[in-house]
């Protein structure tokens, strides 16, 4: 049975302060800023009792975050590398658009045993950099 979990009540809130300090001998690096979002999400989340996710404090950047998955049950759940990055806009959650064509996630089965596990989500390649706003990561867990 498929269950969905999100980082809540801990929402990822990005307050980006962009500062530039460059030396002339260093090449400039550009990260595409993604300001577009896809379809509105009408999805029930946090429907797996005893399993939650939260952002690890101090790990949020414009292209990644480390999440802590917490399993307070005696069961082991499976999940994969896939995730849905969503932004809250005017009270509605939207999936963030992809900036590349033909994206895919590696199909692996990972295990969330009782306890805690951390994972870093790097969305820069798929979604680009995020602007200031309220975001969440949604992952599916299976029994």
pLDDT in tens, 41-58: 666 677 899 999 999 999
The answer to whether 54 and 7 are in contact (CB under 8 A) is yes
Residue 140 in this model has a pLDDT that exceeds 50 = yes
Tell me the mean pLDDT in the region 71-100. Answer: 90
CA 89 to the chain's CA centroid: 16
Q: Which residues contact residue 25 at a Cβ distance below 8 angstroms, ignoring those fewer than 6 apart?
A: none
Q: Compute the distance between CA of residue 140 and CA of residue 69 in angstroms, rounded to an integer.
A: 12
pTM beyond 0.75: the answer is no
Lookup: tokens for 59 = 């790990």
Q: Compute the distance between CA of residue 83 and CA of residue 35 in angstroms, rounded to an integer.
A: 19
Q: Compute the distance between CA of residue 111 and CA of residue 122 in angstroms, rounded to an integer.
A: 20
Percent of the chain with pLDDT over 90: 38
Q: E strand or H helix at 79, and its extent?
A: strand 77-79
Mean pLDDT over each residue of the chain, to the nearest integer: 77
The answer to whether 143 and 5 are in contact (CB under 8 A) is no
Residue 75 banded pLDDT, cuts 50, 70, 90: very high
pLDDT of residue 37: 59
123-33-23-66 Cα dihedral, nearest 10 degrees: -30
């Amino acid at each position: 049975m498929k269950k969905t979990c999100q980082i809540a009540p801990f929402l990822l809130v990005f307050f980006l302060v962009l500062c530039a300090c460059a030396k002339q001998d260093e090449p400039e690096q550009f990260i595409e800023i993604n300001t577009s979002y896809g379809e509105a999400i009408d999805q029930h989340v946090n429907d797996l009792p005893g399993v939650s996710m939260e952002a690890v404090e101090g790990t949020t950047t414009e292209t990644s975050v480390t999440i802590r998955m917490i399993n307070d049950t005696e069961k082991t759940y499976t999940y994969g590398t896939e995730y849905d990055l969503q932004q809250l806009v005017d009270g509605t959650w939207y999936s963030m658009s992809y900036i590349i064509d033909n994206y895919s996630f590696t199909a692996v089965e990972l295990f969330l045993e009782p306890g805690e596990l951390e994972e870093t989500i790097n969305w820069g390649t798929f979604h680009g950099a995020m602007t200031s706003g309220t975001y969440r990561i949604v992952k599916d867990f299976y029994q």
